[in-house]
Chains A and B, each alone.
Chain A
Amino acid sequence: MPPDCYSGRVLWIDLTSESTREENLDSSIYENFIGGKGLGAYLLYRELEAGLDALGPDNTLLFLTGPLQGLPAPNVGRWTLVTKSPLTGLFLDSHSGGALGREIKKAGYDAVGIKGRSKQPTYLIIDDGSVAFEGADDLWGMGVHAATRRLQEKNAKGSSAYVIGPAGENQVLFAVGCTELAHQTGRGGAGAVMGSKNLKAVIAHGTKKIAGVDVDTIRKINRAVIKGWNEKVDNGFKDYGTAFLVEFANNMGHYPTRNSQNGYFDEHRLIDPATMEEKWGLGAHQSCPHCVMRCTRAYKIESPDGSGAEVESTVEYETLGLLGGNIGVSDPRAILKMNYLCDDLGLDTISTGGSIGFAMEAYERRVLSDADIGFPLRFGDADAAIQLIKMIANLEGIGKTLSYGVRAASKEIGKGSESFAVHVKGLEVPAWDPRGRKGLGLSYATAEVGASHLRGWPATVDPPSESALDVIDSMMTARDGKVLTDSLIVCHFTYHLPLSHEQKIALLNAATGFDYNESSISTFAHRVATLTRMFNVREGISRKDDILPERFWEPQKDGPREGMSAFVNTADFEDSLDKFYELRGWDRNGRPTNDTINILGLESIL
């Protein structure tokens, strides 16, 4: 029997036949894969055949919890979505705030797997072991905010809702879903997979009590990290949430500027978190449940629908980067407006900003004309960007081309535009230009989901002005830490508390009664990373795909990293990649060796 902090069961839902079944999981699966990302990697690899259409009925959406959801542990008001990404065609794990994980577990499950395709718009209610298939005709076409509010009114108090917007319904390849108005499964297009299944929303509610083996230890760690947090003063993150990172990133040459042509934005001071907070700040009430950090800041803006109504925009640093400097916009009001619009339509603000930045550069290089777009599209033109956001969500004109992401859009547009399509494996690059830090580019090049900023960074703030070989070990260690974080489904920002790696292992052991230590956690992380790699290898990924976009081989033009590219030269990048493969036990082509597969106990799965 699995430990009591787990339910021990997966709920499988087939939308085509409107049927359900339950699967009991063996305790060894929990010991080997823990939960969240790890458990999702196991289930997705097992369930999917290579090459299937990510937007076809056979793709599977996995809604996952972990061992800590529902227990008094710090920062676990989160959940994980795993699926095959329609944007990259590869493994996707995306992690969202909100109570959905806790409610799924209280309803009696560790994971919910959804397959098939409904005949008409549908939403699901999972409530204490029962599943209802509800018609969603009246919700289809509705924005995320209105649809969520309507579902909250209709459903049990305390239930949690995950909802897509029109972009997901229209299968924009970087569409998101949103939990409780402010927390998105941000990257890779899970919202499009929902839309392809005619699934508008998933609602969960449960009443089961969750038990842990040693809850006193969990409470003790919780108290210790909260004490540490409360004692912090003069802390940018505490004062402003992630918005404080604009200046920090800009000073390091990380801040994306005009389609990542540079990592330094000369107008960055206009995007000032103190001014935003003072003029428009509403508070941190949209933050994740059970969290003391309260980093989700809400700002008051006029609704972009022109009604004059006031709405709340919950912007994060990534959006301040991609819909700010990356499209040459420095007016925070405009960024807040674009952020609200993307959230309501259900678009990933990183990929949206990356796509608009790409289109703006194409326009300024005369690769795209007024006739192609329908209006001028210069860097800095927020009104044009707002128009383009709506066109992307509604698949109108050039918006339809951009809805496939910059990789596909540049192939369709041609005329050399591939050279400034800024992505890795099809995923647009986040707001951390890798030319700002030694070795960061390797994290983007090797992350299984494509260019993600949440897959472990090298332990250095040095610029990439010398070989990165000495920081690859630390990047690997950080990545392994992220695998644990995403399998426990603890917030990535817990380093601010701080919640240490050792405390995370202690929380895991206290919840489960397992006997993990640093060494066996490293093996666990290695196992999950190798399994997700094998998923991608099965889809055709190899060394040729572990690359950086051309843009990051161009030296930055000015600012603190002037003259620097992501690595000192291509030989250093290739040497770093060799070292990464060697540390993982993969061959020179990036394929896990049979020895590695056997040592990690994956031979029966692969």
Chain B
Amino acid sequence: MSPDFEFYVKGKKIMMNEFVENVIHDVIMAIVSHLHDVDLKTIEKVEIS
């Protein structure tokens, strides 16, 4: 995941401090890390709609 990924909830951008950014990064990576055929390092946007 890109270190400066953006996080959106229902279209609204969520500002994050470093701590929250790290937590979300780790949680998302834990969920999607099995997707070996996807370039996970380039994820720039996480969206919950």
Chain A interface residues toward B at CB < 8 A: 77, 99, 157-158, 180, 282-287, 289-290, 298
Contact B19 A282 (CB under 8 A): no
A interface majority secondary structure: loop
Tell me the total A-B contact number using a CB cutoff of 8 A. Answer: 21
Interface size of B by Cβ–Cβ distance < 8 Å?
8
A284 to B16, CA, bound (A): 8
**Per-position 1/0 for B9-23, Cβ under 8 A of A:** 000001111111010
Say whether A290 contacts B17, CB under 8 Å: no
Q: Kindly state the separation between the CA atoms of A99 and B19 in the bound complex, as whole angstroms.
A: 9
Are the C-beta atoms of B15 and A283 separated by less than 8 Å?
yes
Complex contacts, B16 vs chain A, CB 8 Å: 285
The answer to whether A290 and B19 touch across the interface, beta carbons within 8 angstroms, is: yes
- In-complex Cβ contact of A283 among B14, B18, B19, B22 (8 A): B14
The answer for the CA separation of A278 and B14 in the assembled complex, in Å, is: 15
A287 to B16, CA, bound (A): 9
CB-based nearest A residue for B17: A285
Question: Closest approach, in angstroms, between the C-beta of B17 and any C-beta of chain A?
Answer: 5
Q: In the complex, are the beta carbons of A180 and B15 less than 8 A apart? A: no
Give chain A nearest CB distance to B39 CB in angstroms. 22
- Across the interface, do B17 and A289 meet the contact criterion of CB distance under 8 Å? yes
Chain A residues contacting B17 (CB-CB under 8 Å) are 180, 285-287, 289
Instruction: Tell me the bound Cα distance from A158 to B26 in angstroms.
Output: 14
Give the most central of B14, B20, B22: most A CB within 10 Å: B20
Q: Which 10 A-B pairs have the closest CB atoms?
A: A285-B15, A283-B15, A289-B19, A285-B17, A285-B16, A282-B15, A286-B17, A283-B14, A285-B20, A99-B19
Chain A residues with Cβ below 8 Å from B19 are 77, 99, 289-290
- Kindly state the separation between the CA atoms of A298 and B16 in the bound complex, as whole angstroms: 11
Considering the chains assembled together, what is the distance between the CA atoms of A286 and B15 in angstroms? Answer: 9
- Taking the nearest CB of chain B, how far is it from the CB of A286, in angstroms? 6
For B3, the closest partner residue in chain A by CB is: A157
Minimum distance in angstroms from A53 CB to a CB of chain B: 37
Provide 6 A-B residue pairs closer than 8 Å at the C-beta atoms, listed in order of the A residue: A77-B19, A157-B18, A180-B17, A283-B14, A284-B15, A286-B17
Q: Please, which residue of chain B has its CB at the minimum distance from the CB of A181? A: B17
**Whole-angstrom distance from the CB of A156 to the nearest CB of chain B?**
12
Task: Report the Cα distance A289→B21, complex, angstroms.
Answer: 11
